[in-house]
Amino acid sequence: MITVNLKPGQRRKRAGNPLKGLLDNLSVFKELSAKIKDPLLMGAVGAWVLVIALLGLLYLNNLRQLYVLEPRLEQARSENRRFKAFLADKRRQEKIRDSLLAQITVIKSVDGDRYIWPHLLDEITKALPAYTWLTDLGVSAPAAGSGAGQNRPAGAKADSVPAGPPPPLTFQINGRTIDIQAYTRFLRQLEASPWIMDVMPVSAMTVVEKERPVTAFIIRASYNRADSAYIRTAPFSQSVR
C-alpha cells in the first residue's frame, strides 16, 4: 500500500506496536512479582490455585458421571421392584406347596393301610385255582424272631432299644382242595404276586368232608406293597351317558 504525505513539514507517526499490550501485561506481572518477595507466599498462592482448578475438574467429572449413572440407577430400581414381586410370589407358592405336602403326609399316615385287604383279596382270588376253595382268611401273628424284637441285643431292656419299623402284615389262609396239584399251583401263583411275599405252607393233610376225601391246607404269607408300576388308579366317579 502506498501512502502520500500531504504535509511535508510534519513527519508521519510510526505505526503502533501490536505487542505493546502483551508487554504491558508482562510488566504488570513483573511489578507484582517485585512487590511479593516471599517465595513461600507465592508457592502457597500457586498451590491454592492448583487445588481450586483440580476441585473444579473433579466436580465437572463427577457431574458427568452422575448424568451417565442416573439411567442405570433407575433401571436397577425397576429390576429390584420386579424381582421383589417375583420373590414374594415364589415364597407364597412355596408356602402353598408345603401346606399341601403336610396335608398329603397326614392323609397317607391315616389312610395308608386302608387298601391292604382289597389288594390281598384281589391277588388271592386271582391265584386261586379250580376245585379249590377257602374256609378262613385272617391276620396271623408274626413269626418268632421277626420285627423289631429281632434286632434287640441279648440282655437289653425293652425301653433302652429304639423301636424299629413295624413288621409287615402277616395273614393266614385256610382252604380245601380236591387236587394236590392245585394246592402246589396255588402256592406258586401266590409267590408270583407282587403284593404277597414270604409264602410258607404250614400244613397239608387229608380230611373227609361230606364223605369225600379232600386236602386241607394252611398257608401263611405277608403283605408287600408293590411297585408303582403295578398300581392302577381310577376316578371316584364317572359320568354315565
Query: Is residue 151 scored above 80 in pLDDT?
Result: no
Whether 62 and 137 share a structural domain: no
At 191-212, the pLDDT tens digits run 999 989 999 999 999 998 888 8
pLDDT score recorded for residue 70: 87
In three-state secondary structure terms, 241 is coil
Whether 73 and 101 share a structural domain: yes
CATH number at residue 217: 3.30.1360.100
Whether 137 and 85 share a structural domain: no
Structural domain range at position 189: 116-143+168-226
Question: How far from 70 is each of 82, 182, 200, CA to CA, in Å?
Answer: 19, 89, 82
Please state the rounded mean pLDDT for residues 135-141.
87
CA atoms of 108 and 127, how far apart (whole Å): 29
Q: How much is the pTM?
A: 0.48
Asked whether residue 240 is assigned to any structural domain, the reply reads: no
Count of structural domains, the chain: 2
Whether 127 and 106 share a structural domain: no
Whether 62 and 125 share a structural domain: no
Whether 139 and 202 share a structural domain: yes
Whether 138 and 80 share a structural domain: no
Whether 77 and 173 share a structural domain: no
Q: How confident is the model at residue 150 (pLDDT cuts 50, 70, 90)?
A: very low
Whether 81 and 132 share a structural domain: no
Query: Is residue 26 scored above 60 in pLDDT?
Result: no
Whether 173 and 101 share a structural domain: no
